[in-house]
A and B are shown apart, each in its own frame.
Chain A
């Protein structure tokens, strides 16, 4: 049987599980192509 301390550590690991955003390629310095600007609410708002 899994010791209870191990079980709670495993649970905690599950809660903190890294996702695909955590695994994405880092980019520290990014030249911003374009400044923010209010656009139509009908335009897609997610890249």
Chain B
């Protein structure tokens, strides 16, 4: 019951022979808290149990839908995009281009990222291009020229350096960046 009982815990060379140190002395919890979405300087600000995916990191590889409430007035809105009583659908690149032009930029970005390999992803691509956005093939983000600045074309003509507005799908906002743009990287 005295101090000698603590020796197997604190003697480095004896570790893991008598006790499992990850449970006794424990571990640095910073990465564990980080994996839970708890920033170390702001505990308690954000409730993590509401979006808890799984007790283990290994089984937490996808987001789970949290609790939310949809008021009745948000549902069954009649005749959205002239669809009558049904929900609107986008099944034809030819016929649905007019509908897609009614959406704001952010809605187009949402549809582009949300529905891979679909008609609507193609439609939003075409519409964004019409609005002078270009898709960067490696960064997988959309960008457009900053109207405030003229870019400088590099000798050789393969690229230009300038100021662009990017749409960041992680932070869900437009942001301005100086950037070297290679023409073969965009479409």
A20 proximal to B (CB < 8 A): yes
Residues of the B chain whose Cβ atoms lie less than 8 Å from the Cβ of A1: none
Chain A residues whose C-beta falls within 8 Å of the C-beta of B87 in the assembled complex? 31, 33
The residue that B59 contacts in the complex, of A20, A24, A36, A42, with Cβ under 8 A, is A20
How far, in angstroms, from A47 to B91 measured CA to CA in the complex?
18
With A20-B61, A20-B63, A31-B87 as given contacts, are A42 and B140 in contact (CB-CB < 8 Å)?
A: yes
Chain A 17-39 against B: per-residue CB contact (8 Å), 1 yes, 0 no? 11111011100000111111111
Q: Is the CB of A44 within 8 A of B113?
A: yes
Interface check B65, CB cutoff 8 A: yes
Q: Would you call the interface of chain B mostly helix, strand, loop, or mixed?
A: loop
Q: Is B64 an interface residue (CB 8 A)?
A: yes
Interface residues of B in 101-145 (CB under 8 A from A): 112-122, 125, 135, 137, 140
| A→B interface (CB under 8 Å) | 17-21, 23-25, 31-40, 42-47
Residues in A with CB closer than 8 Å to B88 are 33
Residues of B within 8 A of A31 (CB): 86-87, 89
- A28 to B: closest C-beta gap in Å: 14
Complex contact B137–A42 (CB within 8 A): yes
B119 and A37 within 8 A (CB): yes
Q: A20-B53, A31-B89, A44-B140 are in contact. Are A38 and B117 (CB under 8 A)?
A: yes
Given known pairs A23-B53, A43-B125, A44-B113, the reply for A35 and B119 (CB within 8 Å) is: yes
Q: Inside 8 A of B187's CB, which chain A residues have their CB?
A: 40, 42
19 pairs of residues in contact across A and B, judged by CB atoms under 8 Å: A19-B59, A19-B60, A19-B61, A19-B62, A23-B53, A23-B54, A25-B64, A25-B65, A33-B120, A34-B89, A34-B90, A35-B90, A35-B119, A37-B118, A37-B122, A39-B117, A40-B125, A42-B135, A42-B140
